[in-house]
Chains A and B, each alone.
Chain A
Amino acid sequence: RKEVEQDPGPFNVPEGATVAFNCTYSNSASQSFFWYRQDCRKEPKLLMSVYSSGNEDGRFTAQLNRASQYISLLIRDSKLSDSATYLCVVDKAGTALIFGKGTTLSVSS
C-alpha cells in the first residue's frame, strides 16, 4: 500500500459545484495531516491543516478519520481560482512530511 494515496482525477466541475477529494494513508503512527495546493508550474503551498475534530476555513472543510486512515477535503461553491492540484500530506511517523500524488481540479465557467 502506498504511503499516501489519492485519486488523481482530473475532477472537472462547473463554477458553484461542490467537490470532495479523498486520501488514504498507510502509517497508523502518523500524527500530522495537511492539504497543500499546487498551481500549475508553481510550488506547493499550505491550504489547511487537518484535525481529528474536523476543521473548516471558508468554503473548505477538511476531515480526518484515524480509524480508517482516511482524510477528506470538501470544497463548496467552487470558483475558477480553485483550479489547481490538491496534495494530501501526512507525516512519516513523526519525521518529515510525505506527499500524495495530488488530485487535479479544473473549475469551468
Chain B
Amino acid sequence: ETGVTQTPRHLVMGMTNKKSLKCEQHLGHNAMYWYKQSAKKPLELMFVYNFKEQTENNSVPSRFSPECPNSSHLFLHLHTLQPEDSALYLCASSQEPSGRAGGGELFFGEGSRLTVL
C-alpha cells in the first residue's frame, strides 16, 4: 500500500467543468509536489510545496491552481482545461525538499488519470 494516496484515480471532464484532484501523504513528509506525465514526454514538474509554502511554479497555466492546506494534503484545482491537458497527474512527497543535496527519495501516489473532452 502506497503512503501517498490520490483521488480520484480516473477523471473525465469537459472543458467548462471545474474539478479538483486530491493528494494525501501519510509519511510525515515536509515537501509535496505535482507532476504531469503525458504520453511520450518526461514527467513535468508543476508545483513544489515545502512546509505548506509554494516554492516553485514551473510556468504552469493558471487553469491549474494548487492548494496546500497542511503538510499532509495537496490539491490541484482544475478549470477550463484543454484537451491537451489530458494526462496522468502524479503527486509525490519527500521528507525534505528533494532537490537539495541529501533531500531524499520521492514517494509517488498512483496518479489521477485525467481526460479532457
Contacts and interface: CB of A to CB of B under 8 A. Distances in A.
Interface of A: 4, 31-32, 34, 36, 42-46, 87, 91-102
Contacts of B101: 31-32, 91, 94
A43 B111 contact: yes
B22 to A, nearest CB: 16
B98 A99 contact: no
B3 to A, nearest CB: 11
Given A44-B108, A91-B98, A96 B56 contact: yes
Interface string B1-42: 010000000000000000000000000000001010000111
Name the interface size band of chain B: 20 to 34
A94 B100 CA distance: 4
A92 B100 CA distance: 9
B6 to A, nearest CB: 9
Contacts, number: 65
A43 B33 contact: no
16 contacts: A4-B42, A32-B99, A32-B101, A43-B90, A43-B108, A44-B90, A44-B108, A45-B108, A46-B105, A87-B42, A87-B43, A91-B99, A96-B45, A98-B42, A101-B40, A101-B41
Given A4-B42, A99-B42, A99-B43, A94 B109 contact: no
Contact of B42 (A31, A43, A93, A101): A101
B48 interface: yes
B42 A95 contact: no
Contacts of A46: 105-106
A49 to B, nearest CB: 8
Interface string B94-113: 00011111110110111100
Given A44-B43, A102-B42, A96 B99 contact: yes
